[in-house]
Amino acid sequence: MSERKVLNKYFPPDFDPSLIPRRRQPKNSQQVVRLMAPFSMRCNTCGEYIYKGKKFNARKETVEGEDYYGIKIFRFYIKCTLCSAEITFKTDPKNTDYAAEHGASRNFEPWREEKAVEEEDRLAKLEEEENNPMKALENRTVDSKREMDILDALQDIRARNARNERVGQSVDLLERLGTEDIETEEDRERKIAEEEDEKLVREVFARVPASEASASSGAGSSRDGGTESIITVKRKATTQEPELRSLLPESTRALLSAASSIGAPAAKRKKLEVKSGLGIRLKGKAKAAV
């Protein structure tokens, strides 16, 4: 069973292919082939319809005395599926098609009649132009206008293609530039908003030297190394800047007035007891002896 599938057969050493007798076949022998109906047809004997693509076991032969520029023409023999009548058709290389020959007629196919209709229209147009010179002039005018429109459309297409080729090379660059423009616009808007916020903060908060506020007040009036300390004064966002003294409390203003009229007295240091400073508490007699 496996030997029938083997491609390489055994040939003995004394094998001579010239001794094999050749088969004698007629010059125009027929071959059995498997094919499908190339077109829909109707049997002339029984009227049975055979649709396109129906499979048949057909006989093929070469048509003697017919060719198309050296291309051979083949004839096929099939049988009707209902009455088994013989039907023949052959190849048509001129029209790249098949032609029904005997036993069946081809069904009507309107798209195959377009050439005949176009030829009839052309002949009728020529005859009308011969009899009517004005009609011939009108037809020539229409034809020339159609040709000009076609040329204009072709020129537009060529110009558009050339423009697309030029633009296509810089599409990526334009996209990058568009992205950068968008980012720059966003940065500009953010910067403007930040500047407005800073301006509002400067209007609400003012930084002034502490020496202007008070020379003797305990907070924010010290000088270290000859540099003036800076204090931040909160104020309302108005167009007119308020006076610095008006921002201080009443007690501080009174103290500043007294200090300006009379020199500020030296601050007295409170004498601290040594024992209390060391955290020693005396009780009873020890306290009385002290």
Give the residue ranges of the annotated binding site: 43, 46, 80, 83
Segments in the chain forming alpha helices (H): 114-131, 133-168, 171-204, 210-213, 250-261, 274-278, 285-289
Smallest CA-to-CA distance from 62 within 36, 26, 97 is with 26
> What residue type is assigned to position 282 of the chain?
L
- Give the pair of three-digit tokens for residue 109: 């196919």
- Give the pair of three-digit tokens for residue 126: 């020529």
- Give the pair of three-digit tokens for residue 134: 């004005």
C-alpha to C-alpha distance for 268 and 263, rounded to whole angstroms: 15
Residue ranges at the known binding site for Zn(2+): 43, 46, 80, 83
Smallest CA-to-CA distance from 43 within 85, 75, 78 is with 85
> What residue type is assigned to position 32 of the chain?
V
Smallest CA-to-CA distance from 275 within 261, 254, 289 is with 289
Residue 38 in contact with residue 89, Cβ under 8 Å?
yes
Sign of CA dihedral 258, 262, 264, 268: negative
